[in-house]
Amino acid sequence: MLLAVQNLTKRFDDVTVFADISLSLMAREAVALTGESGSGKSTLLHVIAGLEPADGGDVIVDGQKIEDLNDGGRATLRRDHIGIVFQQFNLIPSLTVAQNLSFQARLSGRTAIETRPLAETLGIAGQLEKYPEQLSGGEQQRVAIGRAVANGPKLVLADEPTGNLDEDTSDLVFDLLLSMARESGAGLLVVTHSQRLAERADRRLHLSHGRLSG
């Protein structure tokens, strides 16, 4: 099992975002997580990525229990094994597209990163020397997906990756995310509002009132 979430609870002050939820994810599996705004989907993703601490329960990624790791350990886990795609793209504005694509992979110690084939797959081969602000939203999100998978992660977490895109571009980007995750052999957990897109995943989970159903 690639990802195991067991009895996970998260609170913000007195408000319980979710309580006692469990889920699992296998390699090459794509799971869509849906739910209303404010239901805690993004928070769940952040806790799984080790970006935010849980208030109870366990998150185990590739056999490593996140709660046992310190800030540096979690950073290493993300760097080496997790690819993250955000709704706001969150590319590094001071680096070119090519540098953004290879950044995480090089960070984890890989030296020979071929960005051109990756960029060709993503359909942004002509944009390699450009800076993020020179790209459209769809192009930026393709760069973010490329960055997330370039390192061959075991787990890809995507938080509303199409939230800022039009319908056609959303379809394109979502399909790209699914195919690239599958090709790289990673497990994919994707948060989305869109039932239409969620249907393309292998499995769907729904988070509502702090409870997970699937």
Partner 1 sequence: MSRVVLLTLLSYWQRRPFQLFTLVVGLALATALWSGVQAINAEARKSYAQAAEILGGYSVLKDKTNAPIAEATFVKLRRSGWLVSPVIEGLIPADRARVRLLGVDPFTMPQISTAADAISKTGISDFLGANGTILAAPVTAERLTDYANRIQIVEGMVPGTVLVDLSAAKHLLQSTGYTRLTLLPDQPLQRPELADIAPSLDLHAPETAADLSRLTDSFHLNLTAFGLLSFVVGLFIVNGAVGLAFEQRRQTFRTLRTIGVAANRLIVILIAELLLIALLAGVLGILLGYGIAAALLPDVAATLRGLYGASVEGALTLSPTWWLSGFVIAVVGTGLAAATSLFKVAKLSPLATGQPRAWERASATTMRAQFVAALACLAVAGAVWGLGSGLVAGFILLGGLLLGAALLLPTLLSAALNLAQKRASGPVSEWFWADTQHQLPSLSLAMMALLLALSANIGVGTMVGSFRLTFTGYLDQRLASELYVSLEDEADIPAFLAFVEPRVDAVLPIWRTEGDVLGAPAEIFGVVDHPTYRQNWPLLQALPDVWDGLAIGQGALVNEQLARRENLAVGDELPMPGGLKTYVAGIYSDYGNPLGQVILPIAVLTENYVDTDRHDFGLRLADGALDAVRTALVEDFGLPPDNMVDQASLKAFSLSIFERTFAVTGALNILTLGIAGVAILTSLLTLAAMRLPQVAPVWAIGVPRRMLSRIELARALILATLTFVLAVPVGLALAWVLLAVINVEAFGWRLPMQVFPFDIIRLFLLSLLAAGLAALWPARRLSVRPPADLIRVFTHER
- Binding residues vs partner 1 (CB under 8 A): 42, 46, 49, 51-53, 71-72, 75-76, 78-80, 84, 86-88, 90-95, 99, 102-104, 106-108, 133, 147, 159
Taking Cα atoms as reference points, which of 173, 153, 187, 168 lies closest to residue 79? 153
Of 13 and 199, the one with the shorter C-beta distance to partner 1 is 13
The DSSP-derived string for 64-85 is EEGGG--HHHHHHHHHHHEEEE
The three-state secondary structure class of 33 is strand
CB of 86 to partner 1, least distance (A): 5
CB atoms within 10 A of CB 102: 23
Of 99 and 184, the one with the shorter C-beta distance to partner 1 is 99
The residue with tokens 């590094």 is 92
Taking Cα atoms as reference points, which of 186, 175, 90, 163 lies closest to residue 133? 90
Of 93 and 117, the one with the shorter C-beta distance to partner 1 is 93
Of 87 and 162, the one with the shorter C-beta distance to partner 1 is 87
